Structure formats: C-alpha cells, structure tokens
Structure 1
C-alpha cells in the first residue's frame, strides 16, 4: 500500500500529527494493532474495513476512534482507499465537542458526530482524485470543524501532553503537575476530560511506542537494555505490559517482525503486526 501524508498548516498542527491517504493492495489483510499515542478519524473511500476484536463491526463510510488503551484486530479489504487523520492524544476534542472519555477504546460513525460529513468528503474526493486532493478536502473539513475558542483546560493538557511526548513518557505526573502549578488530581481530571485517559496511562503508551520504534529487527534485540532506555525499570512489568499491548512476548513479537518487516515509507510506528 502507499501512504501519503503531511502535517497540516496552523492552527491544525496544534492538534494533528498528520493527515494521510492510504491506498492500494494490502500486503497483509489482518492486522494486530497495539495502543499508540493518538486518536483517529477515517473516511473510507473504498470497500468496508472490518474490526474483528474486541467488538466485531463493519466500518463503511467513516469513523472516529478515540485513544486506545488495548490492542485491536482489523481486516482490510482487498483494495484499500482511506483518507485519515492522526490526532494528537488531546487533539480530538476541539473538533467533535464529544467528551473524550466517550470515545476511549471505541469507534463511532463519523455521521453520528459530524452529520453528513463522510458523504460530503466522499463526494468531493470521488473515486479517482489524487492523494493530494483528498488531503486538501480533509484539511478544509477539519478547519470548518475546529472550535473557535478552545475548551477550558485544554491548554493545560496540551502543554503537559507535549512534555510527555517529548520525554517519551518519562516524566512523573507529580513533575508535570508541579511544572504547571496545579495539583496532580486537577491535572488527571483535565486529562480524563480532554484525552479520555489519565496522564499516567498516557505516559505508559508513549513509553511503549518509544520501545517499539527503537527495535531493529535485523539485529539481536537486547530487551533489557531497550526496556531500560524506554523507562522500564522492572523486567517483569515490562514483559507483562508488552504482552498486554501486543498479545505476544517480546521474543514472539520480534520473530513476527523478522518474518513481516514494516513497510517502507509508512509512518514511524512499527507496532501494527500481521495477524497470521
């Protein structure tokens, strides 16, 4: 498949990592996807995508997905054409008006949040428009949906979340709260409101994401060193979290990655793995 993406212009870049178009024949139809530090919007321009686990569903026109805290299994059609958005973990709320906790670990049809939007994007892009046109249409739709005034507390979450991102989840909640001049309870409440998860859980996902992208499948994996570099100081905790997030032990996951290398020119998250 071909992945064409770009970072949107301000002010969208405050809330969005990239807008992208995914097209072509998938090398693997079924994918096991671990939690990653982002929320998502997909508008499907082709055949339906199937979510197989944990709750089976057929996704046709488009859907939002909040931040996921557990892995899920999806199945691509034989030919894929999707225009999508990778939001920063706190980035979905300014566009939807939906409490982030209501989207955590869930997928919601686009039209349930933006009535008529999926059909409008599909109509404007059509079946043969180039990827650049699809990205432009999606960017215009996002600009039209962005709240003029950010919700109260979002700036605090954006600042603290940015520090977590920069540190790969390496900062304690108490340090984030102290730096912001608020209590840990207040910071946690704002994260629940605007991200749907606590800052502690968000730090865990950033830490895991850093570990995944640091693995070079072509070389022997020194898991103890990689885990420590990613901020894990307890080997048993690392092994349990890895199994929880991927469904595999580190050794099993590495064997799969060696069998199924990540595709070139895809975004730098090596987490999704063929479910063979």
Structure 2
C-alpha cells in the first residue's frame, strides 16, 4: 500500500500533523488501532470501510464517503477494503476544534459523517479528489479546503488548550498537569474544562496517550526489546502500571504484542503502521 504525506503550511501546521493519501492493496486489511494523540478526517474514494469499537455495546459502522473521528481513549478496529483509496488528515488533539464547529466531546470515541459536520460538502470534496492529477494534487486540495475553513478569531479557551497541548506534545506527557495549570495561570479545574471543550478529554488523559505513543512508536521488534527501559523512558512509574495500561490500550500483553509485530512486520516507509497493528 502506498502512503504519501504532507505537513501543511502555516498556520494549518498548528492544528494538523499531516495530510496523507493511502492507495493500493493493504498487506493487512484489518488493523487494531490503539489510542493515539490524533483526531481524524477521512475522505474515502474506494469501497466501504468498517469500524469496530472495542466497547462491545457500540454497534459496528460501515462508512462509505467520508467521516470525522475525534480523539479516542480506547482501541478500535478498522477494516479496509481492497484496494484502498482514501485521503486523510491527522489533526493534533486540539486541532479538530477550529474546523468542526461543535464541542470536541461530541466526537470523543465517536465517528460522524462529514456532512453532519460540514453541510453538503462531502460529494464536492470527493469529486474534486477523484479528478486530481496526482496524490500531491489531492493533498493540496484538502489543504485548501481546511484553509478556507480556518477563519475568524479562535474560540474562547482554544489558545489555552493549544498552548498546554503543545507542551504535552513536546514533553510526551511528562509535565504534571498541575504544573501546566500553574504555568498558564489558571486552576486545574479551568484547564480541564477547556480541554474537554476543545480536545474532548482532560489534559491528564491526553498526557497518558502521548506517553503511550512515545513508548509504542519506540518499539523495534527486529531485535531484543528492553521493556523496563522503554517504560522508564516513557515515564511509567512502575512495571505493573505500564503492563496494565499496555493491555488496556492494545488488547495484548507486551509479550503478545511483540510476537504479533514479529509475525506481521510493519511496512517500511509506511508511517501509519507504526502505531496500528494487524488484527488477528
């Protein structure tokens, strides 16, 4: 499967990690996706995509044209068609707020059709992408769409969530939330309220996800893995805490995960496969 990515120009880069396209036949059509520090936009040009929540009470979804996903705090499974043809956006945890026009809590652990957020937009966007001469041209079209929607003054509280979110991003969640609140000159309760509005979860939860992402993306299954060293570097205070969170976020013990990675190696040069993993 071919991955082409692009970091957008300022000021979109304050809100978006990358815009990307996926095309071709996936080596592993079904992926188990752990919580990662991203919200998403998917514009699908191929067959239906199926999404399965790890919460058994949530029914599966079959998505055809385009959908948004907010920040997820639990794992989910995505089942790609073959071949894949889609264009996506990885938003920073706070990055979807300026574009969605609704509280981030409404999209936490949820997906929503593009037209439910951007009225009567998905067919126009899909038609333009289908006519794009190349993957690079398609990414520029999505970047232009985002740029036209980033207008006006930021919503109340978004600059605070963005500032604190950036510190969590650069520290991989290592700075205590009380320190972040004190440095910003606000109470912990105020900071948590603004995060819930613009990110969908508390800063403590975002810190957990950044910490886990740092660990999971540092695992190199091609050689021996020193889990004790990795969990210490990522900021886990003990092995038991690390093991519990790892199982919660991936559905596997560290040993099971490593075995899975060795049986199904990540595709070289394919960044999304560093976090998501094949579902057996």
TM-score bracket, shorter-length normalisation: over 0.9
| Counterpart residue number, 1:38 | 38
After superposition, residues 247-266 of structure 1 pair within 5 angstroms as 247-266=251-270
Q: Which residue of 1 aligns with 2:136?
A: 132
Cα deviation digits, residues 110-164 of structure 1 (max 9, x gap): 0111122211111112167310111111111111211311101111111111010
Please, which moves more after superposition, 243-252 or 120-129?
120-129
Gaps of 5+ in 2: none
Match status 1:208 vs 2:212: yes
**1:26 is paired with a residue of what secondary structure?**
coil
Instruction: Tell me if 1:83 matches 2:105.
Output: no
Q: 2:132–2:138: 8 Å Cα contact kept in structure 1? A: no
Q: Give the superposed CA RMSD.
A: 1.2
> Which residue is equivalent to 1:119?
123
TM-score (norm 2): 0.96
Structure 1 residues 30-109: aligned runs within 5 Å: 30-54=30-54, 55-109=59-113
Aligned pairs (5 A) from 1:214-225: 214-225=218-229
The answer as to whether partners of 1:21 and 1:131 remain within 8 angstroms in 2 is yes
CA–CA distance in structure 2, aligned partners of residues 127 and 76 of structure 1: 22
Aligned partners of 1:110 and 1:128: how far apart in 2?
Answer: 20
Aligned match of 1:145 in 146, 149, 159? Answer: 149
- Using the alignment, how far apart are the partners of 1:213 and 1:29 within structure 2? 20
TM-score, normalized by length of structure 1?
0.97
Equivalent pairs, count: 276
Detail structure 1 runs of 4+ shifted over 4 Å in the superposition. Answer: none
8 Å CA contact 2:51–2:79 kept in 1: the answer is yes
**Which residue in the other structure is 1:3 paired with?**
3
Which deviations, in whole Å up to 9, do the C-alpha atoms of 1:190-218 show, x marking residues without a partner?
Answer: 10110000000000000000001111111
Structure 1: stretches of 5+ with no match in the other structure = none
